[in-house]
Structure 1
Amino acid sequence: MSYTNDIETLSVVEDFQPKLNFKPQQEINTTDFKVLSLFSGCGGMDLGFQGGFEFRGKNYKKNNFQTILSNDIDAAATKVYEANEKYFGNHQIIEADIREIPYSTIPDFDFMIAGFPCQPFSNAGKRKGINDERGSLFEECEKILIEKENSQNQPKGFVFENVRGIMSSKMPDGTSIPDEIVKRTEKLGYKTTYKLVKASNYGVPSARYRLIIIGTKKEYGRFDFDLLDKVVQEYELPNEKNAPYELMVGSILSDIDSKLPQAKDYWKYSPSGQYMVDKIGPCYGSKAVLKKFKNNTPIDELPEQVHKGRSWKNMDREDMSPRFQKIHDNPKKYRAPNFYRRFSLTEINGTITASAQPEACGITHPFENRRYTIREIARIQSFPDDFVFPYTTIANAYKVIGNAVPPILGWVIAKAISKHLEINA
């Protein structure tokens, strides 16, 4: 079996043929940078890098990046990826463990984008880092970069994304994982840098923190993260720093058409979870208040109570379980976390986690006692309204959205990298 276009030929190892199952690829613009996407999830970063989508009436134009091959091991994620043929119909996603894919089947690329598994680096985990089996998957990215150093068209750079917990994960010698990645990739001839970014500063309606690691070949110099802010300014993107209105929960929920795909699909809480949500009670709001956001009513013309979020702390003590009573009675010891957070209509929603559990993240609708619908959390993650999330179990839909890189954040990063390459060409 062979796969051919005007860019290159990709030969497939015979005994690996069933997993690859390549389909014809549309012609790639020769001026575009070719992107290899690893640990792609449902395609948030891929969509951002490619561009060519709309979000709430704003057109995020096509970027000069084109994904040529994607990979993820999660069947729930690849199911979503393949369903969005409008955006990803011109290339293949391989559902397989990256360690099982022969290097000879990976085409030459200009940029690698990869959100290697974050579990070993999470704040709640044991932080084994690269020594953990999943953490070592970073080394698969490294091996592919090394392999492609011997190709005719060497990579120009890479973008890695991970949770902020990776910053406190250590190697046995005490080196932080990000610094270890910098050290290893600079040995390969890249200038590598990283920054913890907050997605809501870059057009995303979610106060989601992620570590972004960017390396470009040394002839291009070291990437300047200030370019992200320049993209935000140039394209007049809403942002938490000076234009937050469009990112507020009330604004995001105000204009979701009930006829949109999965606009009514939501995952019901367990009886105990529903009990907590009911006892916490709703934030101030209604469909009439959402209409005010849709009409861009100034914040100072809204009632004062619209600013107040809620959490388990708003429950009556007698309604709490013994566990929560214990935390309630000794807040200093337990640091009184905001479990069961409900963001107000004038707040920017927090991170939607893959587990989508109300105790762990702000997944509860402000004034309806339920989880956000699939469409609502897709909005919070900045997916376009025509991006669909087919699922076998509804929990899988929440998982893949929670794991995704917000497309608009990916779009800003891609635009900034383009600027960097132009400046240093």
Structure 2
Amino acid sequence: MTYREGRTLTVLSMFSGCGGMDLGFVQAGYEIVWANDIDEDACATYRRNIGEIHEGDVRNLEVPNIDDLDVLIAGFPCQPFSNAGNRRGLEDPRGQLYRICLEYVERLHPKAVLLENVRGILSIRSEKGTLIEEICSRLVDIGYEVHFKLVDATEYGVPQHRLRVIIVGVKRGIAPSGFRFPRPIEGMDLRLRTCLDVPPGTPNQNDVIRLNPQAMYLGSLIPEGGSWKDVPYDLLPDRLKRIRNNMRRYRWPNFYRRYHRDEIAGTVTAAFKPENAGVWHPTENRPLSAREIARIQTFPDDFVFVGRSVKAIYSMIGNAVPPRLARTFAEMLGNVLRGVPVDLGRPLVAYSQLGKRPIRPSDPEIVFDRPRRESTEESGRPVPHQLDLFEVTEAC
């Protein structure tokens, strides 16, 4: 199936937040025909920059009646699966929202699906094995060829080490030439310094989150490129002394990170706390501004964030999908849907062939082939290796 020249591709967006993923698709020429989020501040920002959005709990909304939908995108809430969140997994009510995404897919039958979430979904257990197995199996049942990969956002031009699982489903028969994840973007300067030269008067540059006096004092003691390990022991608060005394027990944490201007930034988080994110400006005695972290997330300077508090603005930026990452995948899906030949030079690995080790960003993309779950005694067949993934420390 191919599209006539000039056909505008359509997108339905779930859990849209302030619109990071949506913006990437808009930049790639798509039309957003429906979007939703529950957060009031994120919705206000979305309307300010992108367009109309249905505000409210998606569980209370009717599935829209959209014919011939091209792509459904969703970054369902990640806090239940992230060590920076509560890590309650499927026990958290938000941990069930991925099923709403799958219900929308089953009702609307878009030609392609793009889901994004934290690495923790690879190790969360569900009734059907792991959460990644449940999601992929359901998409296969509905009629999709499903690929997924753990990606580092730096591979796609984002100046930030941000590990995310990307799941792509393409309706069978849509991509006769095949399907692959886009190749990494090479040659871009991703150093933190590229995000810091903000012109005066740029929106949100004066929005700087306020930290408590103790955090500001500790931050002032940390040199560019350093962390809490550079603070003299006798100047640490008691709780950090206890951790320093038993680093092995606490898994060698690296709190209060102040990245060097020539480093690539770490993950921008929704909480933006000194103990789980590199919040400090490399040379000034302050946290990074909202505009600076928006640049690290690849939002353009004319994208204006609005909210009832500076904290709300930081949270929506940290929760967003980097637009540059989203645009890369939007362009790839656009080529697939228009019948443009796909670069098949990158390797694939079948899910059932993976050994018992964690998935890494350097691994090939994975095509889901529904591994069998019968035991050898019951079926007489050998059981394929299943993923045995350990929990990881990461930020949402």
TM-score, normalising length: structure 1: 0.75
- Residue of structure 1 equivalent to 2:114: 159
- Residue of structure 2 equivalent to 1:5: none
1:31 matched to 2:7? The reply is: yes
Which segment is superposed worse, 356-365 or 331-340? 331-340
1:370 matched to 2:291? The reply is: no
Distance 2:168 2:192 in 1: 31
Considering Cα pairs closer than 8 Å and 6+ residues apart, tell me whether 1 or 2 has the greater RCO.
2
- Residue of structure 2 equivalent to 1:121: 81
Q: Give the deviation of 1:126 after TM superposition.
A: 6.0
1:69 matched to 2:34? The reply is: yes
Please give the secondary structure, in 2, of the residue aligned with 1:332: coil
Q: Do the aligned partners of 2:280 and 2:286 also contact (CA within 8 Å) in 1?
A: yes
Q: Do the aligned partners of 1:247 and 1:348 also contact (CA within 8 Å) in 2?
A: yes
Q: Give the deviation of 1:122 after TM superposition.
A: 1.0
Give the alignment partner of residue 191 of structure 2, picking from 248, 272, 281.
Answer: 248
Give the alignment partner of residue 45 of structure 2, picking from 49, 72, 80.
Answer: 80
Deviations 1:257-308 (A, max 9, x none): 022112222112111211211222x31xxxxxxxxxxxxxxxxxxxxxxxxx
Please give the secondary structure, in 1, of the residue aligned with 2:248: helix
Give the alignment partner of residue 25 of structure 2, picking from 33, 49, 61.
Answer: 49
What RMSD, in angstroms, separates the aligned Cα atoms of the two structures? 1.9
Structure 1 segments (4+ residues) deviating >4 Å: 104-108, 124-128
Q: Give the deviation of 1:424 after TM superposition.
A: 6.3
Distance 1:143 1:269, change over 3 A: same
Distance 1:125 1:260, change over 3 A: closer
1:334 matched to 2:299? The reply is: no
Percent of aligned pairs with the same residue?
A: 42
Deviations 1:330-351 (A, max 9, x none): 2223222110111001100001
1:179 matched to 2:133? The reply is: yes
Q: Do the aligned partners of 1:228 and 1:412 also contact (CA within 8 Å) in 2?
A: no
Letter aligned with residue 354 of structure 1: A
* Structure 1 alignment gaps of length 5 or more: 1-28, 52-62, 149-153, 233-238, 284-308
Distance 2:183 2:69 in 1: 23
Letter aligned with residue 182 of structure 1: C
Distance 1:330 1:43, change over 3 A: same
Distance 2:272 2:307 in 1: 15
- Residue of structure 2 equivalent to 1:140: 100
Q: Do the aligned partners of 1:192 and 1:213 also contact (CA within 8 Å) in 2?
A: yes
Letter aligned with residue 345 of structure 1: R
Which segment is superposed worse, 321-330 or 108-117? 321-330
Letter aligned with residue 179 of structure 2: F
Higher helix share: 1
1:224 matched to 2:177? The reply is: no
Give the alignment partner of residue 100 of structure 1, picking from 60, 72, 90.
Answer: 60
Aligned length: 335
Letter aligned with residue 121 of structure 1: F
* Structure 2 alignment gaps of length 5 or more: 343-396
Distance 2:137 2:231 in 1: 50
Q: Give the deviation of 1:415 after TM superposition.
A: 1.2
Distance 1:106 1:423 in 2: 25
Please give the secondary structure, in 1, of the residue aligned with 2:271: coil
Give the alignment partner of residue 257 of structure 1, picking from 199, 202, 210.
Answer: 199
Q: Give the deviation of 1:132 after TM superposition.
A: 3.6
Distance 1:201 1:182, change over 3 A: same
Q: Give the deviation of 1:327 after TM superposition.
A: 2.0
1:188 matched to 2:188? The reply is: no
